[in-house]
Amino acid sequence: MNNYKLIIQYDGTEYCGWQIQNNAPTVQQVITDKIEVITGRKVNLIGSGRTDSGVHALGQAASFKIEDEIDIYKFKYSLNAVLPFDISILEMNKIDEEFNARFSAKRRSYVYLFSNFKSPFYQKYSYYYHEALDCDYLNKICKTFLGKKNFTSFARKNTETVNKVCNVYDARWKATNGLKIFYIEADRFLHGMVRTIAGTLLRASKERADGKYIEDILSAQDRESAGEAVPAKGLFLYKVKY
């Protein structure tokens, strides 16, 4: 069986997330349908993880197996030709049969964009937040998230995931060209986790809270203790590491 890995970019504005759902447009469904049209075979396209409705991707990874040997150059060109303009296949490679885009992933990273001025070009892809954000201050309290911790307080209440422990390797902010960028990297993320962490940091910034503020929220293991999640439109799945 031949196994192929894709690196995908997409604008999630018009989709109800990555994962296939009944009666809702999803990125996984669109790509799967186009692969099946080109190959004439049913495939199981496996993504590195879910992205929520409205969330974008700069480097989503996915894999699928098929009996036929594929001419990668021609196939990638054909697939991009039939996909809508808001989905693009950046890379395609043949990989070991044991590889699984979800279970082989070691780390995943996201970026969230905040704009501090009104712009027609940033409107769809960032959260317009007019209050001042101090990156040095935010980087100090972000250190509280690092390590292996229970993130129940930062997950949606109705999440089906039983294990709420995630290992966060990096969490930091930087300013560039009128944007504030929040970057976070972990072994895994819970449903709504990144957007809730970002929203909680905004609330902490308003109150000039210290690291203990975050520690108390983590210890509470209660979603009500954390801040409001920021909008989906500013969030991008940045990279998946294997």
Token readout for 143 is 């250190």
Assess contact for 126 and 115: CB atoms under 8 A.
yes
Instruction: Say how many Å lie between the first and final Cα of the chain, rounded.
Output: 21
The set of catalytic residues is 52
d(CA 66, CA 4): 8
Supply the DSSP string of 178-210, one letter for each residue: TEEEEEEEES---TTHHHHHHHHHHHHHHHT--
Give the C-alpha separation, 71 to 169, whole Å: 37
User: CB of 101 within 8 A of CB of 62?
Assistant: yes
In a 3-state reduction of DSSP, which class is residue 120? coil
